[in-house]
Structure 1
Amino acid sequence: MRVPGPVSVWYLLSLIVSIYAQDLDPIVNMCIRFDHQSILKNGTLYIDGGRQTFIDVDDSGDQVGKITEGYNNYLIAVDMNNSWDWKANISETALNKTANPNTGTYPPILSRGALYHGGDDDDNIYLWGGTTSEWNNSFPGYQGPSVQQYSLWSYNLVTQMWNQFDVTLDSPNRPSSGSHAEATDQGLTFYMNGVLDNGSELETEGLIPNSKQYLQGMIVIDTNNQTAKNLSTNAVVGTTPRSRGQMQYISGIGANGILVQIGGNQQSINNCTDSWVNGDLVPMNEIDIFDVSSYYNTSVPAGTWYKQTTSGPTPDPRVDFCAVVASAPDGSSQNIYVYGGRGNNNYFIDDIWVLSLPSFTWTQIYQGLSPRYSHTCHVVGNRTMITVGGAANANYSAAPCDWESKGVGVFDMSNATWGSVYNASAGGYAVPNLVVKTIGGSASGGATMTQPSGGFSQIGLEQLFRAPMKASSDPVSNSTTSSPTPWTSANSYPTISASSTTLGSHPSHFMAPIAGGVAGGIALLASVIAGFFYRKRLRHFIVGGEWPSEELDGENIVRQEIMDTETIWELPGSEKPIELETPMDGWSSTDRSSTGRSVAAHSIADRSSSIGWKSKPLPMVPLYHQRIGSK
């Protein structure tokens, strides 16, 4: 009898592992889930992709046995129309990601991308950006990087069909880890900066593992017609773009609302080392504001950015946190909740801070002992923050499974307390007592601190907050409405020159626009010249050793759905990476950890501490979970 050699033994072991992994359910066998993307729409929370570890469960439903590293290959739907207790009766459904019926192409399995809501009258949700993780490429359903040409996907909630669109003319890359937000009332999505790595697309597979190429620019996708546009972010980040921060959209300020950019890390476009080790964390007292109405202003191609410094206590800098926003009942304050994340030197965070606008002050309302990062969160109803997934430390395989065993958590934003019960009929939002102590007023609003303690950094920003204007149903028409005087950086306008300036936090770095016929004539001449050279150059042509910024022409171009005859353009291997293209008075009495131990007010003392794969259908599982569809 022949004794199996090392190769055949390894093959048998791999086969056993593969067969075992095919039986792992993304809900029943979930250990931890992180680096996913999620969105809330029409009373359902959708969770897409991400990395996940799996664990066996016994007949009693208890987690036992070994942990397997893998991916969430499904679109998970969580019912938010009805109340539930995740310990007892939560309803979760795993939907197979079926192929685009027009092409037979399966939607990608990605991490660190964005899942967008789409317009209020749109039946679709949208998947954009993300990267393919290679931490277990033997896991069933693993997909390697795909071409970047069709980086925008949609999923129709009515037909349950996936579709894909080509926006590469204006956004030729698939970035990941960028901060993103969405103005659903306008059908606009925003994705700022981000990175490319060897899992981003076929054209980047040659990058050194763990290297990150930072990208400049902010991609704006109009989901009404699937068009994309690139806006320069030189006014904010210069040549040190950001990743792993958070961006929030707030309506009702200015003509079309604002974007608020918070935290993350920043790294030079000339430095491709792993940003987690060598990147600089963005101070949490530096807040960047984008006036969404400037997107519609064709005379300001890069849009209008402002920078404001906060006052008072400030959170530790961090990446991989989540954020949501809630407005005081009378609209006198906008409160952005920042939860969790991690800092340098394996500093994992379990706290919640609230950034209040227009006072630009931070207030800490919770401190716990159960860190969480690489999670997502959403406001459901009026006062509830639902958290999704997250990891507790860097040792994914050896770490205990998420004690929130269904992958969701519930936080009351008014009382600043955690729980397992989601109340679909919860009352209205009230400003937390600790926040009231900072900004004045009461739980119902009436904030008395209506500007930063040192004043606004720019007149334009002050005007934006002084004269709030609710966006109309026709945002384009608002572009001609009277609005605050924009202040733009000297680098706000795209250029093909080799020079650029990094913006500091000092107001003098922002230049007021020059008025008058001379400036108008210069701008017109520059536009004509720029348009001429833009049309003449190749899309990936390099000028002066830098990548040009791809901008849409004056009219939006509707991106067609994928066609078999489309040419796939690859990045030349020798070219340089490019800019992104076209009622509590004190601390919470209850820690979020599974032990339920009390936590008094304290500070943190110790900070050291393959495409086309077809899955086999799995059987129906108890009550709270079902699996729909089959590839």
Structure 2
Amino acid sequence: MVMLTKFLVVVVVLGGSGQGLGAGRAAKDQLHTVLAKRDIVPTADQFLRRAAAAAIVVGDYVYIDGGEVSWLQDGRTGPHDHPSYTVNDTLSLPLSQSWDTTSAPFQTTPKSAPLLNRQAIWRDPENTGFYIWGGATAYSASPPPAGIWTFITDGAGGGSWGKEDTRGSAGVALENMVRATDGAWAQSKDVGYYIGGKATKSTDARVIGNDAMIPLSGLTAFNMTSGELTNSSTAGLSLYGTLVGGAAEFVPFGGSGLLLFLGGSYAPVVTSTTQWATVDFDSLTLYDPSRRMWHSQQTTGDRPSKRERFCVVGVQGPNNTYEIFMYGGITTADYKTSGDVYILSLPGFVFFKAAPSSSSTKRAEHACVLAGNRQMLSVGGIDVDLPFPEIFFDPDPWKNGLGVLDLTALSWGTRYDATARPYESPEVVRQWYASGGLASVKWTSDTVRGLFAQAAPPGTTSGPTKPPTDDRPSTGTADPQDPGSGGSSPSNNNNARLVGGVVGGSLGGLIVLGFIVWWLWRRHKKPNDAPRTREEHPGSPNATSTSSRRFLSRMLSPHSPASRRTISPDRMSSPSVIRSPSWRGRRLRRSNGRGSILETDLEAISSQ
């Protein structure tokens, strides 16, 4: 019998080498530090690759933050064991004027916040700045304490960084939360959402072991107006409530908006390399934040193969549709880089694949934003088909790593057009609705059908300022954290109403690193459901891999002899409230919820 009393649990996993987007050695840390003190904005001719950056539109600018970049220095590439360097500036590009990607007019603002890869980024409700949440350090750099950083724009492409100050606060400070990376994130106008992700040595110093990787469950919601930070259960998201490498989009349906999840992988919170399962696109998981209800809906059309690390952009159609554009990523069946573009149109839940284009390029670890009226701007990306370090030495086919996709014509180009015509759904989408495709949708329940018969009020979702589960039927799964949520009543809305709306207009503690404690094995309940698919994850020791695959799979999956026992959400607890000094005078609070990611004491928990 082992007694655990008032201590912080730290997960120890042995073996492996480096973390982050590089497999660099400690011997290069000093060089990395020196270079990080210089501006790293290579010219178009010097530029090689950009990866793992975040991008967002605020006002008349798109801001690019974080990630790594490689470039030619005196005509030569960087060291083989350190081919890229973290970006120490926040970049911006204007959207009020047209420009070509070969001569993109970057502006730079020195960054005083931590230099991180794969951050979540949320626009503030006033459209005057953005927040950064999560992320991982590169190479062997030590991760900073968890925190919310904010960039306040100056209206001219620049701005300044600030940090939430939790010093002297009562209860558990924000800095004691576990930083995650590779989660799915999205936002409404007022609330930023972060779902799942993983904790590693590069995200939190309390994780020990170079290849340690802990999938995280829980949905973190940050109300940017009130300052309230909450965490709720993700039991309805996947078999284990975890998601790594997927994407989320906040779509304007259901009265107050819905979260829709795409792609990625999932595994138990305590896992081994053989316990990964990948998410298909045959049905999609939805979450209604206003009712705390989980739903699923099957899809039709030309569905994407299973994939991770793609980018998504959502845009409101003029006829009550909402299109989500997916670009690139890594296909999990063969671990190849994709250059495909897929369109998911709602409320039809139908996928379309854009025709192949010689101007498109395959890439992963990139970011995308809706720029101007009807263009998607792709930022950065690498080709993981190449071995490491060639993934950073291979010149990007696109100058400055920028690509522009006309979302209506589905054509790639090199010019951002500030005067582009307003967005219209692509022709193939318009034809599908015009031919009565919506009437063929097989809804999983009246509840889901009802959600997509009602659009969210204007201003509920947050977009750029320029443009306007499984297959079993379900009536919705209530979030058990909310005892009053219950199941939604079946809606009286029907397909005819949907058709009228869409076609009529023309004819989207610590999670506890924790609490990793030894519970009696007999108390562990075997899940009733099985994953839709269980396949060997590309990061598993038995998977065929090049050096590039091994390099990237370390970021995706665990390489450890860790216990295969799982910690279910109901084994997790947390303090009910965090009280801290506020950013801009606000008080940051954290209401009680399962799947907590807050540090807390463990009181007399025993196990064999």
Q: TM-score surpassing 0.5?
A: yes
Q: In the alignment, which of 35, 51, 59 is matched to residue 34 of structure 1?
A: 51
Deviation at 1:230? 0.7
What residue in structure 2 maps to residue 82 of structure 1?
97
Q: Is the 8 A contact 1:374 1:390 kept in 2?
A: yes
Q: Do 2:363 and 2:382's aligned partners in 1 also have CA atoms closer than 8 Å? A: yes
CA offset digits 1:336-393 (Å, max 9, x no partner): 1110000233311010011111111111013357311011101112210001111112
Q: Which runs of 5+ in 1 are unaligned?
A: 1-9, 58-62, 99-106, 138-142, 295-302, 442-446, 476-485, 507-541, 564-576, 583-631
Does residue 247 of the first structure (1) align with residue 243 of the second (2)?
A: no
Given that 2:348 and 2:441 are in contact with CA atoms closer than 8 Å, whether structure 1 keeps it comes out as: no
Inter-CA distance 464–503: structure 2 relative to 1 (3 Å threshold)? farther
Residue of structure 1 in register with 2:144 after alignment? 146
Change in CA separation of 1:339 and 1:502 when aligned onto 2, cut-off 3 Å: farther
- Give the CA deviation at 1:51: 2.4
Per the TM alignment, residue 216 of structure 1 is displaced from its structure 2 partner at its CA by 0.6
Residue 133 of structure 1 is matched in structure 2 by 138
Residue 408 of structure 2 contacts residue 425 of structure 2 at CA under 8 Å; is this kept in 1? yes
Please name the residue that 1:70 is paired with.
Answer: 85
Alignment match, 1:197: 200
| Structure 2 partner of 1:179 | 184
Secondary structure at the counterpart of residue 91 of structure 2 = strand
- Superposed displacement of residue 552, structure 1: 5.3
Q: Judging changes above 3 Å, is the alpha-carbon distance between structure 1 residues 488 and 500 closer, same or farther for their aligned structure 2 residues?
A: farther
Q: 1:221 to 1:502 in 2, by over 3 A?
A: farther
Q: Does 1:52 align with 2:69?
A: yes
In the alignment, what sits opposite 2:477?
A: 489
Residue in 2 that maps onto 1:429: 423
Change (3 A) 1:318 1:352: same
8 Å CA contact 1:79, 1:91 repeated in 2: yes
| Change in 2 beyond 3 A, CA 1:170/1:471 | farther
2:505 maps to: none
Counterpart mapping for 1:7-22 below 5 A: none
Residues 1:361 and 1:96: Cα distance change in structure 2 (over 3 Å): same
Distance 1:417 1:501 in 2: 46
Residue 320 (structure 1) shift: 0.3
Tell me the amino acid that sits aligned with residue 118 of structure 1. D
Q: Deviation of residue 24 (structure 1)?
A: 6.6
Residue number among 115, 118, 122 corresponding to 1:112 in the alignment: 118
SS of the residue corresponding to residue 290 of structure 2 reads helix
Please tell me whether the aligned partners of residues 234 and 503 of structure 1 are also in contact (alpha carbons under 8 angstroms).
Answer: no
What residue is the counterpart of 1:164 in the other structure? 164
- 1:288 is matched with 285
Instruction: Tell me, yes or no, if structure 1 residue 338 matches structure 2 residue 331.
Output: no
* Separation in structure 2 between the aligned mates of residue 172 and residue 15 of structure 1, nearest angstrom: 29
- TM-aligned CA distance change 1:264 to 1:152, over 3 Å: same
Tell me, yes or no, if the aligned pair for 2:569 and 2:595 is still in contact at 8 Å: no
Percent of matched pairs sharing the same residue: 20
8 Å Cα contact 1:365/1:416 also seen in 2: yes
The structure-2 alpha-carbon separation of the partners of 1:489 and 1:557, relative to structure 1 and needing over 3 Å to count, comes to: farther
In the alignment, the residues of structure 2 paired with residue 543 and residue 321 of structure 1 have an alpha-carbon distance, to the nearest angstrom, of 29
Deviation at 1:123, TM superposition (A): 2.8
Q: CA deviation at 1:232?
A: 0.6
Q: Which amino acid aligns with 2:375?
A: T
Please, which moves more after superposition, 125-134 or 151-160?
151-160
Which SS does the other structure have where 1:126 is aligned?
strand
Q: Contact (CA 8 Å) 1:236, 1:503: kept in 2 or not?
A: no
SS of 1:373's equivalent?
Answer: coil
CA contact (8 A) 1:215 1:579 kept: no
Equivalent pair of 2:117/2:137 in contact (CA under 8 Å):
yes
Could you give the per-residue CA deviations for residues 448-480 of structure 1, whole angstroms, max 9, x where no partner exists?
A: 3335x45211221111112334157799xxxxx
Which of 315, 328, 331 aligns to 1:326? It is 315
**TM-score normalised over the length of structure 1:** 0.66
Q: In 2, Cα distance between the equivalents of 1:231 and 1:327?
A: 28
**Alignment correspondent of 2:433:** 440
Which residue in 2 is equivalent to 1:378?
369
Residues 1:545 and 1:116: Cα distance change in structure 2 (over 3 Å): closer
Q: Residue 342 of structure 1 aligns to which amino acid in structure 2?
A: I
Aligned to 2:446: 459
Opposite residue 296 of structure 2, the aligned amino acid is K
Q: CA deviation at 1:407?
A: 2.5
Does the 8 Å CA contact 2:301/2:351 hold for their aligned counterparts?
A: yes
SS in 2 for 1:406: helix
- Please list the CA deviations of residues 229-254 of structure 1 after superposition, one character each: whole Å capped at 9, or x if unmatched: 01211022242511111111122x22
Query: Do the aligned partners of 1:76 and 1:92 also contact (CA within 8 Å) in 2?
Result: yes
Q: What is the SS of the residue equivalent to 1:460? A: helix
Contact 1:375 1:391 in 2 (8 A): yes
Cα 1:293/1:20, change in 2 over 3 Å: closer
What SS does the corresponding residue of 2:428 show, helix, strand or coil? helix
Other structure's SS at 1:26 match: coil
Three-state SS of the structure 2 residue aligned to 1:236 is: coil
For 1:474 and 1:357, the matched residues in 2 are separated by: 15
Distance 2:354 2:173 in 1: 43
Amino acid at match of 1:428: P
Residue in structure 2 matching 1:363, options 352, 373, 389: 352
- Return closer, same or farther for 1:559/1:401 CA change in 2, 3 Å cut-off: farther
**1:382 partner letter:** N
One-letter code aligned to 1:229: T
Q: Which has the higher contact order (CA 8 A, sep 6+)?
A: 2
Q: 1:461 to 1:96 in 2, by over 3 A?
A: same
Q: For 1:367, what is the secondary structure of its paired residue?
A: coil
| CA displacement at 1:113 relative to structure 2 | 1.5
Q: If the length of structure 2 is used for normalisation, what is the TM-score?
A: 0.69
Matches of 1:551 and 1:432 in 2, distance apart? 49
Shift of 1:163: 2.2
The 1:396–1:91 alpha-carbon spacing in structure 2 relative to 1, beyond 3 Å, is farther
Measured after TM superposition, the shift of residue 421 of structure 1 is 0.5
Kindly indicate whether the alpha-carbon contact (under 8 Å) linking 2:232 and 2:596 is maintained by their aligned counterparts in 1.
Answer: no
CA contact (8 A) 1:43 1:81 kept: yes
Question: For residues 574-585 of structure 1, what are the structure 2 equivalents within 5 Å?
Answer: 579-580=596-597
Q: For the Cα contact (< 8 Å) 1:232–1:549, is it kept in 2?
A: no
Alpha-carbon separation, structure 1, partners of 2:255 and 2:35: 55
Contact 2:173 2:580 in 1 (8 A): no
What is the number of residues matched between the two proteins? 466
Distance 2:395 2:165 in 1: 37
AA in 1 matched with 2:88: N
Which residue of the other structure, out of 363, 383, 397, is the alignment partner of 2:389?
397
Cα distance, 1:266 vs structure 2 = 1.3
Higher mean displacement: 414-423 or 108-117:
108-117
Please say which structure displays the higher CA radius of gyration: 1
SS in 2 for 1:463: helix
Contact 2:233 2:569 in 1 (8 A): no
**Which shifted more, 235-244 or 493-502?**
493-502
